[in-house]
């Protein structure tokens, strides 16, 4: 018997990976300190309303242009920077995809992600529209990790009790919030983290 009735998995940083070298190159190209662009774009004041669905992805981008105009002193340069940031290449981690597909033979797999209103388009671009049994997007449900409600909703959509769910995320605070609900948490760093759990679960 499987030790879990569902797998709840994060999207960015687990299944989807952005090109870190290209991201770093944007900072360098605009004379900004390393990490400035990503930290600014994902700052709670800017990304928060977008992942809660309070503003659209397009409105978030406009807010980023305004923010970077202040940093760069030019709205044109700011618009180019944001355009480059939004176009940073992303790929699917094929090892993770294979492992989640394997798990799906045994239990439902639900993607649980703090995302903007563009998530559906992004999943389609990566060929992942029908990959998971369910997708819980924070922008569509109005709550984001680590709010306990998003975990409860994901478990309900999987048809599983929280204590029978395996939760995977690359952010430790999100994993800790899941474990407080009785879920088994995996702090993701590499595919091997999942492979070990799969072996213990007998998912072969």
pLDDT tens, 56-89?
999 999 999 999 999 999 999 999 999 999 999 9
Check residue 2 and give its pLDDT. Answer: 82
What was the pLDDT predicted at 204? 78
Nearest-angstrom CA–CA distance, 154 and 76 = 41
d(CA 79, CA 83): 6
Judge contact between 69 and 75, C-beta under 8 A: yes
How confident is the model at residue 14, as a pLDDT?
97
pLDDT band at 137 (very low <50, low <70, confident <90, very high): very high
Per DSSP, 162 falls in state: G
Q: Residue 27 — very low, low, confident or very high, per pLDDT cuts 50/70/90?
A: very high
Asked if residue 23 has pLDDT above 90, the reply is: yes
Cα 99 off chain centre by: 17
Query: Tokens in use for 31?
Result: 């004379």
């Amino acid at each position: 018997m499987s030790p879990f009735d569902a797998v709840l998995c994060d999207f960015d940083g687990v299944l989807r990976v952005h090109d870190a070298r290209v991201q770093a190159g944007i900072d360098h190209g605009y004379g900004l300190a390393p990490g400035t662009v990503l930290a600014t774009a994902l700052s709670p004041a800017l990304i928060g309303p977008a992942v809660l669905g309070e503003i659209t992805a397009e409105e978030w981008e406009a807010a980023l242009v305004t923010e970077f105009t202040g940093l760069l002193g030019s709205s044109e340069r700011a618009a180019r920077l944001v355009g480059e940031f939004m176009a940073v290449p992303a790929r699917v981690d094929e090892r993770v995809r294979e492992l989640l597909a394997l798990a799906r033979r045994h239990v439902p797999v639900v993607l649980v992600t703090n995302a903007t209103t563009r998530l559906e388009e992004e999943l389609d671009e990566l060929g992942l529209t029908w990959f998971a049994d369910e997708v819980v997007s924070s922008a569509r449900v109005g709550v984001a990790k680590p709010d306990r409600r998003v975990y409860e909703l994901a478990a309900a959509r999987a048809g599983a009790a929280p204590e029978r769910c395996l939760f995977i995320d690359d952010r430790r605070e999100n994993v800790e919030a899941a474990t407080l609900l009785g879920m088994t948490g995996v702090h993701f760093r590499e595919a091997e983290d999942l492979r070990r759990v799969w072996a213990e679960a007998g998912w072969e």
